Amino acid sequence: MRLSPKNIEIETLSEKHRINIAKYIYFAILIGIILILIVETGKMFSYITGYGEVLFPKTDIQPVNNIRLQNIYVSNYQKTYKGQILFKYIENEGSPSQSKLNKQIRAVKNEIIYYKKLLKKKEYQLNQMKKLSLLEVYMPSDLINKEHEIETIKSELLKAQTQIFPITRVKKIKTFYSPDSGIIGKIFFVKGEVIKSGETIMTIYKPNKIKIRGYFNQKYFMVLHIGQRVKIEFANGEQDYGTIENIYFITFPQPLQFRQTYQPYKRSIAVDIKPDIKSFKNNVYPYIYKTSVEIYIKKFKFPSL
């Protein structure tokens, strides 16, 4: 079979058309790669990057002794307020004797008294240190360490307070009220289950006190300032903005999750960031607790048109 000149010409044109389309696709991909490189390079030179973790207080609800859940009045990721009924329970048959339980309660009450006195003492010491720090008697690191010590004491005090369950000889239904306002995390037990001493029934998160502890290279200390707006990228893909509330210009050791094996021991400037977070749903908070985030800050402020 012979091809006519007309057929050959059509076939040649078709082949040229395919080659042109391939060229356009190639140039489109090339332009896309170039644009990505330009954007990333622009970020590198116009932004400084830091890392951080999401922090906010939480309270684990744990019984002092074995109990059986009679009923639960809250659900996962529900908002709760201080004094709200969380659940009702009865004393389990396998619980220790009444005298032993009373001894445990007295021990916890003594623990609460101890932490209250200790907290009052440490807060007084902090106030005195703040006054003397103006005379440079104490370094900023001393104040920060004292504040961390006070936060630890508060956490231990709250933990002890949540362990107080009213116990009597008679097996009657008792009620447990929420010790604080916040969002209920995952509830680990259902109605009728027996919960052993020290097991976590549920966790209350307090996202209204959410903050991000960020870490930046020491060379950026001149760029950072209080009130500065930053961009935050969360591990779940969400993006948000926040404001720097505190800057600790003394150097901090980086948390373990930001260090890599065999790398030199690095220290960083630490900042406290208050994120805006207006669009997050309640069920997100338990999952973002202590997760890593990336933080971006503009090096230069460009004038608006």
- Give the whole-angstrom CA distance, residue 217 versus residue 49: 9
Within a domain: residue 39? no
For strands 85-91 and 67-72, give the pairing. Answer: antiparallel
Q: 160 with 249, same domain?
A: no
Residue ending a domain, choose from 199, 224, 250: 199
- At residue 131, the 3 state secondary structure works out as helix
Query: Residues 220, 195: one domain?
Result: no
The predicted model gives 68-84 an average pLDDT of 90
Percent of the chain residues topping a pLDDT of 70: 70
Residue 167 has pLDDT above 50, yes or no: no
| Amino acid (1-letter code) at residue 290 | K
Q: List b or e across 215-250, with b for residues whose CB sees 16 or more CB atoms inside 10 angstroms.
A: bbeeeeeeebeeebebebebeeeeebebebeebbee
Host domain of residue 259: 47-56+208-298
Tell me the pLDDT tens digit for each residue of 196-218. Answer: 888 999 999 888 788 888 888 88
- Window from 115-129, 140-154, 242-256 with minimum mean pLDDT: 242-256
Q: Is the pLDDT of residue 15 over 70?
A: no
pLDDT per residue over 28-38, tens digit each?
787 878 777 76
Interacting residues of 223 by C-beta distance below 8 A, sequence separation 6+: 48, 297, 299
| Of 177, 151, 2, residue with least CA distance to 86 | 177
User: How high is the pLDDT of residue 47?
Assistant: 77
pLDDT averaged over the chain? 76
Q: Where does a domain end: 199, 228, 250?
A: 199
Please report the pLDDT score of residue 202 as a whole number: 92
Same domain, 90 and 186: yes
Residues 52, 67, single domain; the answer is no
Question: In degrees rounded to 5, what are phi and psi of residue 202?
Answer: -160, 170
Above 80 in pLDDT, residue 85? yes
Bridge partners, 248 (sequence order) = 270
Do both 226 and 104 map to the same domain? Answer: no
Domain presence at residue 253: yes
Question: In Å, how far are 84, 106, 140, 248 from 132, measured between CA atoms?
Answer: 43, 39, 11, 18
Q: Does residue 96 register a pLDDT over 60?
A: no
Count of structural domains, the chain: 2
Residues 132 and 224 placed together within one structural domain of the fold: no
Kindly state whether residue 105 falls inside one of the protein's structural domains.
yes
Per-residue pLDDT, 77: 86
Residue 67: how many other CB atoms lie within 10 Å: 26
- Are 58 and 80 spatial neighbours (Cβ–Cβ below 8 Å)? no
- Please work out, in degrees rounded to the nearest 5, the angle formed at the alpha carbon of residue 189 by the alpha carbons of 73 and 206: 65
281 and 164 in a common domain: no
pLDDT of amino acid 168: 41
pLDDT(292) > 70 = yes
Each residue's pLDDT tens digit, 138-152: 677 777 777 888 888
Q: Are residues 79 and 194 in the same domain?
A: yes
Give pLDDT, residue 72: 94
- Given a contact cutoff of 8 angstroms between Cβ atoms, the answer to whether 201 and 63 are in contact is yes
Which of 61-70, 95-104, 256-265, 268-277 shows the lowest per-residue confidence on average (mean pLDDT)?
256-265
Q: How confident is the model at residue 120 (pLDDT cuts 50, 70, 90)?
A: confident
Residue 179 in domain: yes
